[in-house]
Chain A
Amino acid sequence: MMAAPIIEARAVSKWYPRRAGVLRRQVGAIRAVDRMNVSLGAGQTLGLVGESGCGKTTLAKLLVRLLEASEGEVFVHGQPFASLRGPRLLAARRAIQFIFQDPLNSLNPRLTVEETLAEPLVIHRLARGEARRSRIRELLVAVQLPPSYRSRLPRELSGGERQRVGIARALATEPEALICDEPIASLDVSVGAQIIELLRTLAHRRRTALLFISHDLGAVASLCDRIAVMKDGRLVEFGPTEELLSRPAHSYTELLIRSASLDLEFVPP
């Protein structure tokens, strides 16, 4: 039998009540994520692409249990994530880490880089004393930041450097999977390209599985082996990157591809 994927969503939905009238009665539901299936196995790189409002961030939050699913279930190593408690929940959280879009808002402005990186080590009881300090040095090396950055505050860092700190913090627990939600959307192209390079290196050297969520098909294609296309909360198409790009089965995928290359002559049917 094959090993269970690190993380797997089975028919997961998230809906929000739609209210109307003076009494704010519920008149229906907005399905932000609609029966999505997605799985991430060891060492895999999966891209999740779609336009704003398609539900990709909601799905990411469901996968790491920052949101609870309205229906369906998320499994971590075959165990229902929602049922995990105590040490097993902690272990699941250690195995799956999250990288946010905006590195400034996801870092505590009052903590130095060292304090930020120490937090996961403390919470998960991974290293103390000198071992903790040397682990922090290793993490800085892994994301290609100079050791002197230990004492800096987020505001003393550039956008790309902050995102590197965000990645280092995620790596602190030696996760099996990284869920990256638009990690380069608020960065300059050159900085974004460097972050992609860094993620690629991590995926290759450490065999860290990546779920890379982006509206940018070019960035997704440059990093991921497989791509899932989302629209209106649903999975539209899924396949190996080259196949999906060269022979898209769904007209929406075709539209995204043509749009990504800014093909002004393409008029959707």
Chain B
Amino acid sequence: MALLTVEDLSVIYAQRSTAVRAVDRVSFTIEPGEIVALVGESGSGKTSVALALTKLLPMPPAAISGDVRLSGTSLLDATGDTLRSIRGGTISYVFQDPATSLNPVLTIGEQLVEAIELHTDARGREAKQEAIRWLQRVGIPSAEERLGAYPHEFSGGMQQRACIAMALASRPALLVADEPTTALDVTIQVQILRLLRDLQRTLSLSVLLISHDLTVVERIAHRVGVMAGGRLVELGAVEQVLHQPAHPHTKELLRYRSMMTLKREGKR
């Protein structure tokens, strides 16, 4: 059975006189241990899908309709404490800009321990030990000392590693990674992508990856959905969509990519 089932998901933003349909009847599933990517240009609705899963959109102006189920449980019906335990717990997020995702006045350790105590049974010393283990897992050296560091003492790449640790520390059923490498330098992008891929494999994570970058998708995703104008115009295995695209919009995205990528050596 699919872990996540999204059926006819729509997000409409009501403006003064008009309504904008940001997401238009989008349906897809994510199997356990699978990375599914949504790719598209800005305004295509991909981030709205990611946020709508846990109703992380201001309502109003947003109105969400459709059916979203995680292991059979409806997410859009969730409210109150149930919704709070889903957000950051069952479904956790890694966002584009780690600097704004982290709280600047709390240490990395305080934020990590908070996530652990909020969403798992670990408390006190145990939670702290768990926090150290997570920092080690995401490749932060001298993890114990770094617990006391503030976000501004971390580089952008290290901040994003800390965000990934926080997102995973609650043992989520689904990780939503929204442009997790976009704000980083290329050399750091590669490190963070490699980390995500390795963690996904060792922990058999289920991931919804949001990206504008087809190469990012190609490197780590299993299946990909292409979004344009709020619609999911194509959905399939990564190799199939990128090598035999069916929809004209996908073809166009691939054409633009080929104009801008390094033509140095053949595909591996």
Contact = CB atoms under 8 A, between A and B. Distances in A.
Interface of A: 51-52, 188-190, 192-193, 196, 215-219, 221-222, 245-246, 255-264, 266
A178 B123 CA distance: 59
21 contacts: A52-B185, A188-B41, A188-B42, A188-B212, A189-B213, A189-B253, A190-B253, A192-B256, A193-B256, A193-B259, A196-B259, A217-B262, A218-B260, A218-B261, A218-B262, A219-B260, A256-B186, A257-B264, A261-B215, A261-B261, A264-B219
Interface string B180-218: 000001110110011001000000000000001101100
Given A261-B262, A262-B190, A262-B193, 7 more contacts: A52-B185, A189-B41, A190-B253, A193-B259, A255-B187, A263-B190, A264-B219
Given A215-B185, A260-B186, A263-B190, A190 B41 contact: yes
Contacts of A218: 260-262
B189 A259 contact: yes
B78 to A, nearest CB: 34
B186 A192 contact: no
A51 to B, nearest CB: 4
B252 interface: yes
Nearest to B196: A264
Contacts of A219: 260
Nearest to B42: A188
Nearest to A190: B256
Q: Which of B187, B215, B253, B264 has the most CB of A within 10 A?
A: B264
Nearest to B216: A262
B152 interface: no
A196 B257 CA distance: 12
Contact of B187 (A190, A246, A259): A259
B185 A222 contact: no
A52 B268 CA distance: 29
B262 A260 contact: yes
A246 B260 contact: no
B185 A245 contact: no
A215 B186 contact: yes
A189 B262 contact: no
B253 A259 contact: no
